[in-house]
Amino acid sequence: MPQLNGGGGDDLGANDEMISFKDEGEQEEKISENVSAERDLDDLKSSLVNESENNSSSSDSEQAERRPQPRPDLDSYEKTRDYFSEALRRQQDGGFFKSPHYPGYPFLMIPDLTNPYLSNGALSPSARTVNIVLHLHLKLFISCYLFLTPQYLQMKWPLLDVPGAAGLKDSRSPTPGHLSNKVPVVQHAHHVHPLTPLITYSNEHFSPGTPPSHLSPEILDPKTGIPRTPHPSELSPYYPLSPGAVGQIPHPLGWLVPQQGQHMYSIPPGGFRHPYPALAMNASMSSLVSSRFSPHMVPHHPHGLHQTGIPHPAIVSPAVKQEPNSHDNMSPSMHSRKSPGLAKKEEDKKPHIKKPLNAFMLYMKEMRAKVVAECTLKESAAINQILGRRWHSLSREEQAKYYELARKERQLHSQLYPGWSARDNYGKRKKRKRDNKPDSTPEGKGLGSICHSIGHLFSI
């Protein structure tokens, strides 16, 4: 039985990760948040239903426009369904992918709904009747399987390019294709499977109502009684993918994966050459590697890759931001063994290995664009205040998802850079002056009025 707490074995798992759940005394607020969340879900459902109703009541000419056309993304959507079907088969215990009451309904009926036309392109009278019936069924279906729709996926992961949800995405993501001009993180256009988060992770992590494994009663911190993350050795069951799937199925952080049809980092056909066989990467890790950063940030290893064969996004050469140097990305601590002058010189050239993102940072990365789109705000400081409050309003399961991702980030980071320490980055920035400014709370700044349209989402 793997011990979860001993010998620093949990060096990557934060025992106090869930502290934020206990604080604040925001019970009332959380209750209202839950109500709001349900309301949002209802709104989403009704909007989708209305959309379907509009479709059914639209004129023939409109229907003609809606007539199935050869679409470039159709193939990807078909693949989506294939992937999803495959994922469905993988599920043994119901959970997220619980079998529908109408076997095959979501997969067979939906395409049919879009094609109630005769061979000559006209909508048959019987098809009209059937259309109405089907749309009634669609309402029920949407209610039951809302979270599986492209619209939902697009809403859930707004930075993903979910086929079939372009409109929603466009309205919510004002800067598709990138998140930042500092870190050239771009979005994968069509090669990121919209169900990626559901496939690369087991339903333990994502099934609604089923707490992540590290929150399950079976794994509790004996000291605090707080649910904790499992030891890395417990992770393998989370990645049921075969090695052949490496590089094909991206990571849940897929919203950060590059686009334009290229994998950010090439992956050798034979898999990774990991220096630590015991730590050989699984599919999720490999995709994690390719998730977060731009190749511009990756210094060139003499052999073109990190010693692991995996250029990690956390590496930022000082010259980078500029141009890749030929320096290898040894841990900064390794460089410090050289003579002072030489060490200093190389200090300037050595790559800057960034800290792995914590749970909140990952959450911010995902949600920032959405908040920016919904608010009139653009200033990060204000956005972060909103995100901070929204973070606290997240459900336990929602937060756990990000803690889990962050834990994987740390795990991968430590494997890629065994000698790296957060200390290595100390002093890289100019020292900040810390003066406590008077009341700068979101309430004080009136973000509620600025972001009133989503105020109920942010408790402002």
Partner DNA sequence: TTGCCTTTGAAGCGT
Partner DNA sequence: ACGCTTCAAAGGCAA
Residue 178 to residue 31: CA distance in whole angstroms: 35
For DNA, which stretch binds (CB under 7 A), given 117-125, 176-184, 283-291, 341-349?
176-184
DSSP letter, residue 315 = E
How far, CA to CA in Å, does 51 sit from each of 43, 135, 158, 210? Answer: 12, 10, 19, 30
For DNA, which stretch binds (CB under 7 A), given 51-59, 108-116, 172-180, 343-351?
172-180
Residues 6+ apart with CB under 8 A from 328: 299, 301, 302, 307
Q: Which of 203/399 has CB closer to DNA?
A: 399
Residues 6+ apart with CB under 8 A from 122: none
The vertex-128 CA angle with 122 and 133, nearest 5°, equals: 145
Answer yes or no whether residue 412 interacts with DNA by CB under 7 A: no
Q: DSSP per residue over 18-32, as a string?
A: THHHH-TT-HHHHHH
Structure tokens at 253: 């952080």
Whole-number minimum distance, CB 171 to DNA, in Å? 18
Answer yes or no whether residue 334 interacts with DNA by CB under 7 A: no
Q: Which of 81/389 has CB closer to DNA?
A: 389
Contact status, residue 353 vs residue 332, Cβ threshold 8 Å? yes
Q: Exactly one of 410, 412, 451, 458 binds DNA (CB under 7 A); which one?
A: 410
Among 354, 355, 351, 353, CA closest to 317: 351
Answer yes or no whether residue 213 interacts with DNA by CB under 7 A: no
Answer yes or no whether residue 20 interacts with DNA by CB under 7 A: yes
Answer yes or no whether residue 348 interacts with DNA by CB under 7 A: no
Q: Exactly one of 193, 365, 370, 408 binds DNA (CB under 7 A); which one?
A: 365
Answer yes or no whether residue 358 interacts with DNA by CB under 7 A: yes
Q: Exactly one of 354, 370, 401, 408 binds DNA (CB under 7 A); which one?
A: 354
How far, CA to CA in Å, does 363 sit from each of 233, 366, 401? Answer: 25, 5, 9
For DNA, which stretch binds (CB under 7 A), given 28-36, 51-59, 361-369, 447-455?
361-369
| Backbone phi, psi, residue 186, to 5° | -125, 165
Whole-number minimum distance, CB 66 to DNA, in Å? 35
Whole-number minimum distance, CB 255 to DNA, in Å? 10
Q: Which of 96/293 has CB closer to DNA?
A: 293
Among 183, 149, 185, CA closest to 169: 149
Structure tokens at 267: 């992956």
Q: Exactly one of 55, 124, 175, 395 binds DNA (CB under 7 A); which one?
A: 175
Answer yes or no whether residue 395 interacts with DNA by CB under 7 A: no
Q: Exactly one of 42, 93, 112, 379 binds DNA (CB under 7 A); which one?
A: 379
Whole-number minimum distance, CB 123 to DNA, in Å? 45
Q: Exactly one of 69, 70, 103, 381 binds DNA (CB under 7 A); which one?
A: 381
Contact status, residue 393 vs residue 254, Cβ threshold 8 Å? no
* Tokens 């949800």 found at: 165
Answer yes or no whether residue 384 interacts with DNA by CB under 7 A: yes
Answer yes or no whether residue 350 interacts with DNA by CB under 7 A: no
The dihedral region occupied by 330, where left means phi > 0, alpha psi between -120 and 50, and beta the remainder, is beta
Structure tokens at 158: 């707004």
Q: Exactly one of 352, 370, 401, 408 binds DNA (CB under 7 A); which one?
A: 352
Binding region for DNA (CB under 7 A): 11-12, 14, 16-17, 19-20, 175, 179-183, 185, 352, 354-355, 357-361, 364-365, 368, 378-381, 384-385, 387-388, 391-392, 403, 406, 410, 421-423, 425-435, 437, 440-441
